[in-house]
Chain A
Amino acid sequence: MDVTWYVVLSAVLFAIGAGGVLIRRSPLVILLCLELMLNAGNLALVAFSRAHGNEEGQVFALIVMVVAACEVVVGLGLIVAMFRRRLPLNVDEMRGLRG
Chain B
Amino acid sequence: MVQVAFFVGAIGATGGALAVIALRNPFYSVLALVVHLVSLAGLFLLLYAQFVAAAQVVVYAGAVMVLYVFVAAYVGAVEEPIWEPIPGQRFLAPLLAVALLVELTIAILGTGLTALDSEGPTVHAGFGTPAEIGNLLLERFLVVFEAASMLLLIAAVGAVVLAGRRTTPPTSSASRPGSAGSGSEVAAGPHAPTATSSLAPADPPSAAEQGG
| Interface size range of chain A in the complex | 35 or more
Interface pair A5/B155, CB less than 8 Å apart: no
State A90–B82 Cα separation when bound (angstroms).
11
What's the nearest-Cβ distance from chain A to residue B53, in Å?
9
Interface pair A72/B48, CB less than 8 Å apart: no
State A1–B68 Cα separation when bound (angstroms).
34
Tally of B interface residues using CB under 8 Å: 87
What's the nearest-Cβ distance from chain B to residue A19, in Å?
3
With A13-B17, A29-B20 as contacts: A76 and B155 at CB distance below 8 Å: no
What's the nearest-Cβ distance from chain A to residue B47, in Å?
4
State A15–B32 Cα separation when bound (angstroms).
17
Interface of B is mostly: helix
| Most-contacted residue by chain A among B33, B40, B63, B105 (CB, 10 A) | B40
Interface of A is mostly: helix
Q: Which residues of A contact B (CB under 8 A)?
A: 1-9, 11-20, 22-26, 28-29, 31-33, 35-36, 39, 42-43, 46-47, 49-53, 55-56, 58-59, 61-63, 65-74, 76-81, 83-84, 89-90, 92
Q: Which residues of B contact A (CB under 8 A)?
A: 2-3, 6, 10, 13-14, 17-18, 20-21, 26, 29-30, 33, 36-37, 40, 43-44, 46-49, 51-52, 55-56, 59-60, 63-64, 67-68, 71-72, 74-75, 78, 80-81, 83, 85, 89-90, 92-94, 96-98, 100-101, 104-105, 108-109, 113, 115-121, 123, 127-128, 132-133, 136-137, 141, 144, 148, 151-152, 154-156, 158-163, 165, 209
